[in-house]
Amino acid sequence: MPPDEKTSRVTVDLMSADDLPEILAIEREAQPAPWTEGMFIDEMKASPAHCLSVRVEVQGRSFVAAYIIFRFVADEVHLHNLAVRREFRRQGLGFNLMNLMKDIASQANIFRRTLEVRASNRKAIGLYEKCGFAVKGRRPRYYDDAKEDALIMWA
């Protein structure tokens, strides 16, 4: 899809099996250790209301542009996955999805939010700081692939 095409409609919906081929393609380009199809299916079974995908319509064709997966754990919400397709980054989708997670959690009286992020992922850390998260801990060499530390962030 040409990145300069005009976007006509943006919708957020529950993730569906039909979204998975596009989600897996985004996941492979976005994450150093991409989730497998089975991991997405497990999340969709365990917590379907908290697996959301963003679709954009460009000249009558619909594309998955982003997705977010989170879980409620007691009185906390844990972010499990978030990615934005490369052509749609820096347009506020990540920020809006994080705010949506916050709103959905607030409606369930859940106000504590947490996540883990690679220490080198400056873009994501910037996004999370903008959403009110701060680093509260570190898990050394948490990510096996690069032996990279995880930062534990809370809001």
Ligand X SMILES: CC(C)(COP(=O)(O)OP(=O)(O)OC[C@H]1O[C@@H](n2cnc3c(N)ncnc32)[C@H](O)[C@@H]1OP(=O)(O)O)[C@@H](O)C(=O)NCCC(=O)NCCS
Residues that bind ligand X (CB under 6 A): 30-31, 82-84, 89-95, 117, 121-124, 126-127, 130
CB of 142 to ligand X, least distance (A): 12
CB of 120 to ligand X, least distance (A): 10
Give the residue numbers marked as catalytic.
Answer: 116, 128
DSSP symbol at 33 = S
Q: 38 — alpha (psi -120 to 50), left (phi > 0) or beta?
A: alpha
For residues 26 and 60, which CB has a smaller minimum distance to ligand X in the complex?
Answer: 26
For the chain, the straight-line distance linking the first and the last C-alpha, in angstroms and rounded, comes to 36
For residues 60 and 97, which CB has a smaller minimum distance to ligand X in the complex?
Answer: 97
- Residue in the structure block whose two tokens are 């989170």: 70
Distance CA 58, CA 110 (A): 36
For residues 72 and 87, which CB has a smaller minimum distance to ligand X in the complex?
Answer: 87
